[in-house]
Structure 1
Amino acid sequence: MTKPRIRLGLRDWDHLVPVATGTLTSEAFDLDLDSRAMTPDVLSEPELDGGETSFSRYVLGRAQGDDRLVGLPVFVMRGFRHRCVLVRRDSELREFAELKGARVGLTGWPDSGNTWTRALLRAAGVDLTGIEWTVGAVDAPEPGKDRVGGAKLPDNVSVTDVSLAEELAAGRLDAIMTPFMPAGFFTPESRFRHLLADHPAAELDYFHRNGFIPGIHLVTLKREVVERHPELPGAVQELFERSKRHWLARRRLLTDTTPWLLADLSRTREAFGEDWMPYGTAANAAMTAAFCAELHAQGIAPASIDPQEVFPS
């Protein structure tokens, strides 16, 4: 029987390099990997069989009965969000709790990363309904980018086409939430800083309390592709698992890509164990349940979501 050939659109994550270069392949299928600058909208691209997908948008779709995508518990993007809250360099704000009643900009309303970041504020006792939220681009506007999703926004959320970084610099915002640092952030003259002076320490504490690093994007396959080839979800997960492990082994060998990569790899292993980004349903059960609960608690999902329905067997 001829192996199926599938096309997946993903951003160029380091841990996918062994697959992208053809170093690792699958006996179950042939893969064309499209490298994308931005996360693709898998359903709107007929030539794609699947790809990188927002965890939030996937879960919300499932909760609304949209099963056109089959999610794999393969989180190609995950990370702590404590570092994502920025303030002006001269701001007196230092803690999440101090954002009560603040004016906060963010890069998207239903986005996975911002959902996790708002969860940090909720955990610090901040009433999200008391914040004046502004949704927009960090730097230059990106025409056509959907930042709000299909649902009606809460009354305390507005949308702007003005740079959030400039609004923050001008004092019209007290803080911004962004996974991508604004232009000039990594220079000595940066106008901004992280809200938390020691965000790595806060992130490590979060891991000790919760037992996971938040998932942001996962891999999905179109349902019609899975129905034609039921073996694909398991085979794709297996290939990406091997790619992740192969990449880590090579990074531990070829450590001269950054001055302190070996030290960072060692610290990561000591803090989070051998695999800080595990794949699989069971390994991500606690994280999935926490995310579903946050979507409902924040009013993004109108009804509670059964985490068991996110990755149905």
Structure 2
Amino acid sequence: MAPLRLSLACWDYDRVKAIEDGRVRPEGIELTFLNLRVEETFFRQLRYKEFDISELSLSSYVLTLNDPEPPFIALPVFPSRMFRHQSIYVNLKAGIHSPSDLAGRRVGTPEFQMTAPVWQRGILEDEYGLNYDSPQYFTGNVEPSTTERTEKVPLQLAETVKIQPIPKGKCLAQMLADGEIDALESATAPSTFGTHPDVGRLFPNAKEVEQDYFKRTGIFPIMHVIAVKRSVLRENPWVARSLTKAFASSLEYAYEAIHARGALRYILPWMQFHVEETQAALCSEGNDKWWQDGLTPQNIRTLDKFLEYSFKQGLAKKKWEVKELFAPGSLDAFVL
């Protein structure tokens, strides 16, 4: 039987590179790999549903579950994870010395529903007592753009949330430098960080703060999932297991590459020491892999916390259970 032809839109991360270049081929599937940056993938998939399979923002994916007939279902594959204390920026003249000082302040965020700010608001509330609805939020482009940035998914937020778009022609990076906003919660660093003397991090020692956060909570925030059109799985339910196994194999190639020592695979001269430091900070005894897919206890804890934040912040219509997010056929792909 001829293989099933499917399209996959995803950035070419090291953990999916073996799928892109063909070293790993999902059984029974002929994939067309579309190497797209995440913003383009998210916009095209959420707006037009162009791809059979795609990387998706965890937050946006969870919001699609609010639909009467959700268009996608996820695999327990997490192509993007990132600690987010490091990407909260402040105007250094605004008198913000601790997270609690953000109460009542003007905080920029590209989109309220973006995964990174959902994590940031939740962490600031859990860890520092800053109610998620206490700042005044301003949404829009981080950098100058000819198009206005709007929420990719319609929102119905609580009346206590104070939120408004920034004026046309403005961008959050420059507004932060000019003192028009006091802080920025984002996924990307604003161009004014490192180039303008008044822009710095809320947590200057972010690395130490993030390592302490992980040590206490066991949470390595998940940013993105791989999502499949439900229409594809209705006709071919086996696809979920095949794809999940392929992503697991591709992840092993990524580990193999960073452990290579005969010559440097990447332009990082102290890669070995960085790997050792990461293992020491994030790995438990007997486990040398800090980036894992599937519903491991750590991943369940991480996803459950995000689902708590999404519901509490008025985004998800209910507090979803972790297993409700994923295609059943994908959950047994890790059972050998």
Q: Which residue identity does 2:278 align to in structure 1?
A: T
Measured in 2, the distance between the counterparts of 1:212 and 1:245 equals: 22
Aligned to 1:111: 114
Measured in 2, the distance between the counterparts of 1:169 and 1:184 equals: 7
Contact map agreement 1:94 1:196 (CA 8 A) in 2: no
Alpha-carbon offset, residue 132 of structure 1: 0.9
Alpha-carbon offset, residue 143 of structure 1: 1.9
What SS is found at the alignment partner of 1:8? strand
Q: 1:233 aligns with which of 234, 240, 258?
A: 240
With over 3 angstroms needed to count, the CA separation of the structure-2 counterparts of 1:148 and 1:159, relative to structure 1, is: farther
Aligned to 2:78: 75
Contact map agreement 1:87 1:192 (CA 8 A) in 2: yes
With over 3 angstroms needed to count, the CA separation of the structure-2 counterparts of 1:190 and 1:91, relative to structure 1, is: same
Q: 2:191 aligns with which of 183, 193, 217?
A: 183
Alignment of 1:219-298 (within 5 A): 219-253=226-260, 254-273=264-283, 274-283=288-297, 284-298=299-313
Alignment of 1:27-106 (within 5 A): 27-37=27-37, 38=39, 39-40=41-42, 41-42=44-45, 44-45=47-48, 47-106=50-109
Alpha-carbon offset, residue 151 of structure 1: 1.8
Contact map agreement 1:43 1:222 (CA 8 A) in 2: no
What SS is found at the alignment partner of 1:185? coil
Alpha-carbon offset, residue 280 of structure 1: 1.1
Aligned to 1:128: 132
Q: 1:174 aligns with which of 182, 196, 217?
A: 182
What SS is found at the alignment partner of 2:23? coil
Q: Deviations over 1:51-86 (max 9, x none)?
A: 011111211222444332121111111111101110
Which sections of structure 2, spanning at least 5 residues, go unmatched?
A: 329-336
Measured in 1, the distance between the counterparts of 2:90 and 2:225 equals: 30
With over 3 angstroms needed to count, the CA separation of the structure-2 counterparts of 1:190 and 1:244, relative to structure 1, is: farther
Q: Which moved more, 1:75-84 or 1:203-212?
A: 203-212
Number of aligned residue pairs: 312
Q: Deviations over 1:154-208 (max 9, x none)?
A: 5511111421111111112111111111225345x55421110111111112112
Asked whether 1:158 is paired with 2:164, we answer yes
Measured in 2, the distance between the counterparts of 1:238 and 1:228 equals: 19
Contact map agreement 1:107 1:136 (CA 8 A) in 2: yes
With over 3 angstroms needed to count, the CA separation of the structure-2 counterparts of 1:201 and 1:167, relative to structure 1, is: same
Alpha-carbon offset, residue 237 of structure 1: 1.3
Alignment of 1:199-214 (within 5 A): 199-214=206-221
Percent identity of equivalent pairs: 25
Which sections of structure 1, spanning at least 5 residues, go unmatched?
A: none
Asked whether 1:10 is paired with 2:14, we answer no
Aligned to 2:320: 305
Q: Which residue identity does 2:282 align to in structure 1?
A: F
With over 3 angstroms needed to count, the CA separation of the structure-2 counterparts of 1:43 and 1:100, relative to structure 1, is: closer
TM-score normalised according to structure 2 size = 0.85
Q: Which residue identity does 1:271 align to in structure 2?
A: A
Aligned to 2:145: 141
Alpha-carbon offset, residue 22 of structure 1: 1.8
What SS is found at the alignment partner of 2:141? coil
With over 3 angstroms needed to count, the CA separation of the structure-2 counterparts of 1:221 and 1:289, relative to structure 1, is: same
With over 3 angstroms needed to count, the CA separation of the structure-2 counterparts of 1:87 and 1:65, relative to structure 1, is: same
What SS is found at the alignment partner of 1:264? helix
Measured in 1, the distance between the counterparts of 2:7 and 2:253 equals: 22
With over 3 angstroms needed to count, the CA separation of the structure-2 counterparts of 1:205 and 1:46, relative to structure 1, is: closer
Q: Deviations over 1:131-153 (max 9, x none)?
A: 11111111113626433631235
Measured in 2, the distance between the counterparts of 1:280 and 1:139 equals: 35
What SS is found at the alignment partner of 1:77? coil
Measured in 2, the distance between the counterparts of 1:102 and 1:222 equals: 40
